[in-house]
Amino acid sequence: MIPEKMPEWLDVLIQRLSGLDVFDGKIPNHVLVNEYEAGQGIMPHEDGPLFHPVISTLNIGSYTFLDFYYHISDGTSQAESCAEQERYFMSLFLQPRSLLLIKSDMYNRFLHGIGPKTQDVITDKIGNLGFCDASVGEVMERQRRISLTIRHVPHTLKVKLKLGKT
Ligand SMILES: O=C(O)CCC(=O)C(=O)O
Ligand SMILES: [Fe+2]
């Protein structure tokens, strides 16, 4: 990764996050902005070793659900199946204006993804339901959502990127 100066509006957020001391004293240097219209999701994946050991996501706009799945190589009976549905572990309810931190087992042992849905029915498979403004059986409509995934990349190149005139 080639380092570039953060836009000021992101710098403000990064400073506030750094103050929470969730990055082990490091200053986050990588931000991914994703936009989802209702019905758009992201396939189950792992973020890999580059961003290990913690990723943080600020949720803006709509709520969504982040779904967790066993790795095929996990060694548990659920993981033996290749079918996504059977490898499903649980979901987290991501509320608007909330901050999500993924680390430890949730980073290492599970894939995460967002289903391409426009509507959700709240179930008891939601790990953080007790902390959310939602109850089992409730039906919710997804709207446009923007996520800022803020991470620290340990190894960056020591060159500056020059765009435009040479
Ligand atoms: O939008 C999100 O909350 C998840 C994004 C994500 O998992 C990723 O970009 O790796
Ligand atoms: Fe991810």
pLDDT in tens, 15-56: 999 888 888 888 899 999 999 999 999 999 998 887 778 889
Which residues' Cβ are closer than 6 Å to ligand 1? 32, 34, 42, 47, 57, 66, 112, 147, 149
pLDDT digits (tens, 9 = 90+) for 149-159: 999 888 777 76
CA of 33 to the centre of ligand 2 (A): 12
Closest-lying ligand 1 atom to the alpha carbon of residue 64 = 3
Contact 155, 30 (CB under 8 A): no
ipTM above 0.95, yes or no: yes
Confidence (pLDDT) at 66: 97
Question: What pTM was computed for the model?
Answer: 0.88
